[in-house]
Structure 1
Amino acid sequence: MTVMTSRWTLALALLGAPAVAQDDRHPPTEEQLATIRERSAELADRLDRLEASLIADEREVGDAFADVAVFLKAAEWIDRHGEYFEEGSAAWTLDALDRGLARAEQAIGGDRPWTTAGGGVVRGYVSKVDGSVQPYAVYRPEGLDREARVRLDVVLHGRNARLNEVRFIRDHEGKATPEGIDERIVLHVYGRGNNAYRWAGESDVFEAIAAVRRTERIDPERIVLRGFSMGGAGAWHLGLHHPSLWAAVEAGAGFSETIHYAKLEDIPEYQRKALHIYDAADYALNASNVPIVGYGGEEDPQLRASENVVEALRVLGFETTTEGLQTRAEGLEFLRVVGAGMGHRVDEASRAVIDAFVDEHAERGVAFDRPRVRFVTYTAKYHRAAWIQVEELIEHYARATVEAEVDPESRGVVEVATENVAVLAVERQVADRARIDGVELPLADAAGSLLPSVYYRRRGDSWFALDYDESREIQLNATARKRPGIQGPIDDAFTGSFLCVRGTGPAWNPRVQRWAEERLDCFASEWDEWMRGDLPIKDDADVTAEDLRRSHLVLFGDPGSNRLIGQLLPELPLAWTRDRVGFLDPFEAADHAPAMIAPNPLNSGRYVVVNSGHTFGADAFRGTNALLYPRLGDYAVFRVDDDGGEVVSSGYFDESWRLEVEGD
């Protein structure tokens, strides 16, 4: 954590730049700005003292530090980006700093009363993604039994162009617990701002939940997911992609597909394939595994989000019945509610129906032992439902399904039917044997009995149980195939710990080097503003063995300028010489450059990325969040020019990270 101290010194220096006044903003007065600088300097000093005291006492630095650092982070970012959107913004910033100063003094003295306080409390954690401090808010009823395991409601906020850390603190810190919250804790996720809980925004949801569970006794079987508008889009997405994590899901309005919502017309096939990553309606079958209530106002265009899911369920063969403004899907714990005459809000009558549905299923808890699992995915990124896991696909971004049911009489055999699945894991306690696509295999007493799941691999038209060593190879991410967490595309590298590496050697081609440096600078700027963190960057000469162990490496430059590109190039599915560069069809290296993602040859459990940050940019962040879909596949070639270059080739590697057919 010592790196954090110098980071706050940098933060203080950046605060010296006054915000640019705009017609729709309310920058601080000179007096307010001077006070912000003074109190920021004082809080930065106290953070240094707090960190030193935590280390000296051998106490955990992360959360104890972050609970205070979120207040300086808020002051830093609002000023850095001139985000004084409202008349009270400067005063709110000063209030946040005062709260941070008070907390710092308490924490230095070994006291953290906010960790047990009732009402709304803003806290923080240090993200594993980029080392940034990120806030979240917790509401705890007064007198809650801290010895009992309690329900957790995870709330995803809607899109708000005026949202920043200062506004988030102002909205939650010190507020009373809302009426009706009893014997539960409510978590409000910041989600790194406005990104529909995609990419690092998705990681933020789970990091915030983990942070709450470090200090609260949360019942893992009674975690509820709720959201409206952009938060509703996030609830559709996270609810259907992770169906076995939630006791119930409430998804209000939002969007559940991309083409129509974002009014896309003609996009390349490699981009169209990538829409299957986040389009929630494609995952409608997963409503078989989680209770979901979807809501939309009768006059709200975002009513379409729940309509998409209902239509997808009908296509899958589920019968639906409609009574008044409620629709149910037979055989599922699925309810769709329409608010009579409502626009983009929830009426009281609908709220009562929604709360009754959620409360009923939250009381029951997650049905981990359900006898039947029906699961769909398009990527190994989303691979689990109840007691089955899809570890490898036959083809990414094509529909893959598992339908599994335990014999209700004897529980002796679990019948499994698959489509587009190459490796499947089944928890061994569910039955004695597994019959997969007609092939009967051992389960409870299969080889590798020390493992909780049995792994099966498809070979041709048959299936085989893997032994202990083969199963451990999959568990330890030691295979050379696409698998959960190492499946691409390029943007996936920025959902876990990553490190950008700048080339410092003599470039083969100065034009390409300038292009790579400009891409790194652009990524740093956009990550700072839209993902609310400082981009982690090192020079190639400074990368350590620990960096290789813990982080995805994002390498900028060419084999001459970046020593790691040169070192890894022989092991990558990329041809790059001083004259030619590319994948299947090399281009002139003088004015072309590659971008790509692949497993790191030095650590197969991490990615290596070449010359790319997020493949979408600021325009997508400013527009509808449905635009945050990949613009490239696993690889691309750019024609480099003074305007940044254009894509001349892009596509996906096969399941073994090899190139067979180049994309459009």
Structure 2
Amino acid sequence: MRASLGALGLLITTFSQVVQAQQIHYFDKGLMTSVPQRYGREAIYTDQLAYQLYTHTLKTPAEGSVFGKSEQGDELKWQTITADSLHRLRGRFGFRSSSGGPAGPGINPGSMRGGLAGTGAYIYLSYHSPKEQVAILNIKGNSHVYVNEELHMGDAYSMGYMDVPVKLKKGLNTFYVRGTSIIASLTFPTKPILLQTQDLTLPQPIVGGANQSLQAGVVVINTSSNALTDLQLKSSFQGKEVLTNLPPIPALTTRKVPFTLDASGITSKGKTEGTLSLIRKGKSVDQATIALEAVAPGESYSNTFISSIDGSLQYYAVTPQSTTPTAQSALFLSVHGAGVEASGQARAYKAKDWGTLVAATNRRPRGFNWEDWGRLDALEVLTLAKTRFNPDPQRVYLTGHSMGGHGTWFLGATYPDKWAAIAPCAGYPTLKEYGSADGLIPASSEVPMEQMLLRSGNQSDVLKLVTNYKPLGVYVFHGDADRTVPVTYARQMRKALGGFHPDLSYYEYPGGSHWFGDHSVDWKPLFDFFKWHQRPADSTVHSIDFITSNPGVSASYYWAGIQQQIKPLEYSRIQLQRSEKAITGKTENVHLLKLALHAFGSNAKVSITLDSLPSLTVTTASAQDSIYLRREASSWTKVQAPSLQEKGPHRYGTFKDGFNHRMIFVYGTQGTTEENQWSVEKARFDAETWYYRGNGAVDVISDKEYALQKYANRGVVLYGNASTNGAWKALLADCPIQVDRNGIKAGTQNWNGDDLAAYFVWPLRGSAQASVSVITGTGIKGFKASSANQYFAGASGFPDYMIFSLDMLQSGSKGVKMAGLFDNNWKLMPEGSVLN
């Protein structure tokens, strides 16, 4: 795009000063317009500005110029906005948030719409650079930004730490910012490599504890055009120095890196300052001062760990038991609300004399709403806490507040055999009825394509899993004057559970708002309720009633597990009874069932009768036997354990599955200059988003660096197609979906053109657990159509594969060509696909 230097309406006034020897430019003037767009917790997105940008039809904005038309046919014009004294740019003339913006409680989500649903806004900024140079862009309050057409992650929650290195051209540089109220600045660094200490992940040393080898995390900013592979970080506290080799930092990126520190010299409670030195080739290239806060024994503290999801450093918080733990001590897992740190969550509880409280992080204070990777974080922390604190396995409890109340409902229904009791506080049950900054999950659709996409998120609808709560003690706690999460949600669940649940306690706190002090969570009757409950021992559970929609998320309850479904991601249910010599019951949508026969002992004959079909008898060889049963047309048949190459709880698909198992992002280098540029920029954008949303860090490498043996059993996210990414053949040669320049083939279906895109998942060759998630297109238009990453929105549903065109950005689901789910052998099946 070109702009006239005389068009003063396009120029942005500058405000510059020197802060810490760095020049800062604030954007104090811009242009703003409403833009039809739809972003939310779903695979489909629409964006008229992005469509125009990708098709090179976007006209350079000017005051009063027309961007386009609204759904009602009204003209949408660019209008000048000027910053206030705090440099905040905001619209003052009726801009509405998009469907992906904050949604208030109780809003009816309605159904999916195939067209342009929602209107948001973009702000246009520009900067005239006297030379080609690198700057650090910081924007608070935006969802994303196009910098000279390159897409970068925003800071939707105005946290302030989202520093993005950008390469400026000499002359005019353009910024299209998605948002309605922002503060934007450019900083011109004096060093190519920087430490950023606004977003630290720190442990809290316990005075007198084992503090010699603690792990922390700090952000390193690489403003150079080369990847940095030879960095070290030296930490020093009270004269104790530790040197850590750092992982690679790709060009023009930030990465939060773990490092080791020795805090054994800290002998008193409170803050102690230490220094960090970033070292390259033996020389210090940047320094920073940070503070550790030591706590006294018995106080709440934070502990860090390396996550198996991505290899990044995360933390959990602990409120220790006030007495010496015993074999009967309990464990309380507490999941926090939106915007709340796990450390603050733990401090809200007074120490209990009968158990330890542990607060997971959801990866960020807002994170993933305890769905997707937030769910995995909770499970990681639960496992770590069980290992570290060794509680009585029958005394494990779950509670949480607000978003954590939702997390309690969700995790309680998804893993009912992990808890003795649950207690949601001020919680909403499902994101289909309560939205956040990512919007609501649409409730329904009459369009088959949209039904398939919604089906991919069935595991999040706890109202469909409500019978899973039956074996749990459930304590519902809610303020009756809560305006953030209205008490109607608690009453909804009381009604849903009241018809069948034998162990439900319910209390509305009179006059209670959303937060009415620490007793909003640390409520004595709640913990008394917990004390009265124990998780049943495995040997005493003879009746099972369990529902799941995705065995890859949740497959089993005690001695029975749903390994494979007849209709993938539809709801499956098992209702079983175990007697002295038999198992009887019925199943729904179950193809492969696993039964543990431990309770019957060795050399025992066990009769199994399911679905009123012919019985079969098995004889156990030992007290550790398990069997697999496959549903045939008119019978259940005993079969061998399935190959791990088939679908199963270990790997059941959906596109998001590759973003796990210490995944790596692999961009292509075999295409044209423009194709290769898109590939690395898209990988960088996803890495930025993963860092912002999930406090994560990921290895970003080229196809030339990738090798199956070197990265064995690690998830892969591949960017490009068979023509542009050299790793395609090694990873996807046997996949029934093939994408090349100008064409996509999926089984017998073919599409041609340069504007096609696809997301799909495929098992990683040679691995029993990891997957490859593919982000691909048939040309630069198709690649850019795939650029949005709504898959990071918690609970957004993405099937195993989805093929669409750039037209989706205008027409919604009408632009989706094909979407569906592989069968249990990873084959395309007509009944598992929807075609447009």
Q: Report TM bin, short chain.
A: 0.7 to 0.9
Q: Tell me how far apart the structure 2 counterparts of residues 547 and 292 of structure 1 sit (CA, whole Å).
A: 47
The residue correspondences of 1:129-528 to structure 2 (distance < 5 A) are 129-145=309-325, 148=327, 150-160=329-339, 163=340, 171=344, 178-179=349-350, 181-193=352-364, 194=366, 195-262=368-435, 264=442, 268-300=450-482, 301-313=485-497, 318-319=499-500, 329=501, 332-345=502-515, 351-362=523-534, 369-381=540-552, 382-407=554-579, 411-431=580-600, 432-438=606-612, 439-443=614-618, 445-446=619-620, 449=622, 451-466=624-639, 470-471=640-641, 473-474=642-643, 477-479=644-646, 482-506=647-671, 514-528=677-691
Q: Which residue of 2 aligns with 1:585?
A: 749
Q: Tell me how far apart the structure 2 counterparts of residues 506 and 541 of structure 1 sit (CA, whole Å).
A: 13
Q: Tell me how far apart the structure 1 counterparts of residues 530 and 787 of structure 2 sit (CA, whole Å).
A: 36
Residue 720 (structure 2) pairs with residue 557 (structure 1): yes
- AA aligned to 1:610 is V
More displaced 10-residue stretch of structure 1: 344-353 or 369-378:
344-353
How far 1:367 sits from its partner (Å)?
A: 5.7
Q: Which residue of 2 aligns with 1:649?
A: 817
Change (3 A) 1:122 1:352: closer
Q: Which residue of 2 aligns with 1:573?
A: 736
Q: Tell me how far apart the structure 2 counterparts of residues 119 and 568 of structure 1 sit (CA, whole Å).
A: 49
- The structure with the largest strand share of the pair is 2
- AA aligned to 1:253 is A
More displaced 10-residue stretch of structure 1: 370-379 or 334-343:
334-343
Which string of whole-angstrom CA distances, capped at 9 and with x for unpartnered residues, describes residues 270-321 of structure 1? 232123121111111111232222233333344344444445457xxx44xx
Change (3 A) 1:224 1:579: same
- AA aligned to 1:377 is T
Q: Tell me how far apart the structure 2 counterparts of residues 179 and 629 of structure 1 sit (CA, whole Å).
A: 32
- The answer (yes or no) to whether the contact 1:427–1:454 under 8 Å persists in 2 is yes
How far 1:172 sits from its partner (Å)?
A: 7.6
How far 1:208 sits from its partner (Å)?
A: 1.6
- AA aligned to 1:279 is D
Q: Secondary structure at the match of 1:504?
A: coil
Q: Which residue of 2 aligns with 1:105?
A: 262
- AA aligned to 1:606 is A
Q: Which residue of 2 aligns with 1:659?
A: 828
Instruction: Give 5+ residue unaligned stretches, structure 2.
Output: 1-133, 142-157, 162-186, 204-209, 223-235, 243-259, 267-292, 601-605, 777-782
Q: Secondary structure at the match of 2:465?
A: helix
- The answer (yes or no) to whether the contact 2:721–2:740 under 8 Å persists in 1 is no
Q: Tell me how far apart the structure 1 counterparts of residues 443 and 561 of structure 2 sit (CA, whole Å).
A: 35
Q: Which residue of 1 aligns with 2:308?
A: 128
More displaced 10-residue stretch of structure 1: 631-640 or 132-141:
631-640
- AA aligned to 1:658 is K
- The answer (yes or no) to whether the contact 1:125–1:208 under 8 Å persists in 2 is no
Q: Secondary structure at the match of 2:416?
A: coil
Change (3 A) 1:139 1:196: same
Larger radius of gyration: 2
Change (3 A) 1:601 1:309: farther
- AA aligned to 1:299 is A
Q: Which residue of 2 aligns with 1:323?
A: none
How far 1:648 sits from its partner (Å)?
A: 2.3
Q: Secondary structure at the match of 1:521?
A: helix
Q: Tell me how far apart the structure 2 counterparts of residues 138 and 521 of structure 1 sit (CA, whole Å).
A: 34
Residue 235 (structure 2) pairs with residue 69 (structure 1): no
Q: Secondary structure at the match of 2:564?
A: strand
Q: Secondary structure at the match of 2:470?
A: helix
Q: Tell me how far apart the structure 1 counterparts of residues 140 and 796 of structure 2 sit (CA, whole Å).
A: 32
How far 1:244 sits from its partner (Å)?
A: 0.5
- AA aligned to 2:571 is R
Q: Tell me how far apart the structure 1 counterparts of residues 760 and 320 of structure 2 sit (CA, whole Å).
A: 45
- The answer (yes or no) to whether the contact 2:237–2:263 under 8 Å persists in 1 is no
Q: Secondary structure at the match of 2:457?
A: helix
Q: Tell me how far apart the structure 2 counterparts of residues 278 and 289 of structure 1 sit (CA, whole Å).
A: 20
Change (3 A) 1:336 1:99: farther
How far 1:395 sits from its partner (Å)?
A: 0.8
Instruction: Give 5+ residue unaligned stretches, structure 1.
Output: 1-15, 48-62, 81-95, 320-328, 622-626
How far 1:517 sits from its partner (Å)?
A: 3.9
- The answer (yes or no) to whether the contact 2:657–2:761 under 8 Å persists in 1 is no
Q: Tell me how far apart the structure 2 counterparts of residues 642 and 97 of structure 1 sit (CA, whole Å).
A: 54
Q: Secondary structure at the match of 2:770?
A: strand
Q: Tell me how far apart the structure 2 counterparts of residues 478 and 64 of structure 1 sit (CA, whole Å).
A: 43
How far 1:456 sits from its partner (Å)?
A: 1.1
Q: Tell me how far apart the structure 2 counterparts of residues 214 and 141 of structure 1 sit (CA, whole Å).
A: 16
- The answer (yes or no) to whether the contact 1:124–1:133 under 8 Å persists in 2 is yes
Change (3 A) 1:602 1:132: same
Q: Secondary structure at the match of 2:651?
A: coil
Residue 292 (structure 2) pairs with residue 117 (structure 1): no
Which string of whole-angstrom CA distances, capped at 9 and with x for unpartnered residues, describes residues 195-218 of structure 1? 211222111112222223343222
RMSD: 4.4
Q: Secondary structure at the match of 1:277?
A: helix
- The answer (yes or no) to whether the contact 1:574–1:582 under 8 Å persists in 2 is yes
Change (3 A) 1:178 1:287: closer
- The answer (yes or no) to whether the contact 1:511–1:590 under 8 Å persists in 2 is no
How far 1:190 sits from its partner (Å)?
A: 1.4
Q: Secondary structure at the match of 1:483?
A: coil
How far 1:247 sits from its partner (Å)?
A: 1.4
More displaced 10-residue stretch of structure 1: 366-375 or 218-227:
366-375
Q: Secondary structure at the match of 2:378?
A: helix
How far 1:101 sits from its partner (Å)?
A: 8.3
How far 1:335 sits from its partner (Å)?
A: 3.1
Which string of whole-angstrom CA distances, capped at 9 and with x for unpartnered residues, describes residues 550-578 of structure 1? 21222111112222212344310213344
- The answer (yes or no) to whether the contact 2:587–2:610 under 8 Å persists in 1 is yes
Q: Tell me how far apart the structure 2 counterparts of residues 514 and 18 of structure 1 sit (CA, whole Å).
A: 20
Which string of whole-angstrom CA distances, capped at 9 and with x for unpartnered residues, describes residues 50-83 of structure 1? xxxxxxxxxxxxx989x7333x43xx39x99xxx
Q: Which residue of 2 aligns with 1:611?
A: 775
Change (3 A) 1:21 1:649: closer
Q: Tell me how far apart the structure 2 counterparts of residues 20 and 100 of structure 1 sit (CA, whole Å).
A: 35
Q: Secondary structure at the match of 1:204?
A: helix
Which string of whole-angstrom CA distances, capped at 9 and with x for unpartnered residues, describes residues 16-46 of structure 1? 998959698899xx9xx99xx89979x99x9
Q: Tell me how far apart the structure 2 counterparts of residues 105 and 207 of structure 1 sit (CA, whole Å).
A: 25
Change (3 A) 1:650 1:523: farther
How far 1:641 sits from its partner (Å)?
A: 8.5
- The answer (yes or no) to whether the contact 1:256–1:281 under 8 Å persists in 2 is yes
- AA aligned to 2:419 is W
The residue correspondences of 1:34-113 to structure 2 (distance < 5 A) are 68-70=214-216, 72-73=217-218, 76=219, 104-106=261-263
- The answer (yes or no) to whether the contact 2:657–2:771 under 8 Å persists in 1 is no
Q: Which residue of 1 aligns with 2:14?
A: none
Give the alignment's TM-score, normalised by structure 1.
0.73
Which string of whole-angstrom CA distances, capped at 9 and with x for unpartnered residues, describes residues 59-111 of structure 1? xxxx989x7333x43xx39x99xxxxxxxxxxxxxxx99999899334599xx
- The answer (yes or no) to whether the contact 1:68–1:100 under 8 Å persists in 2 is no
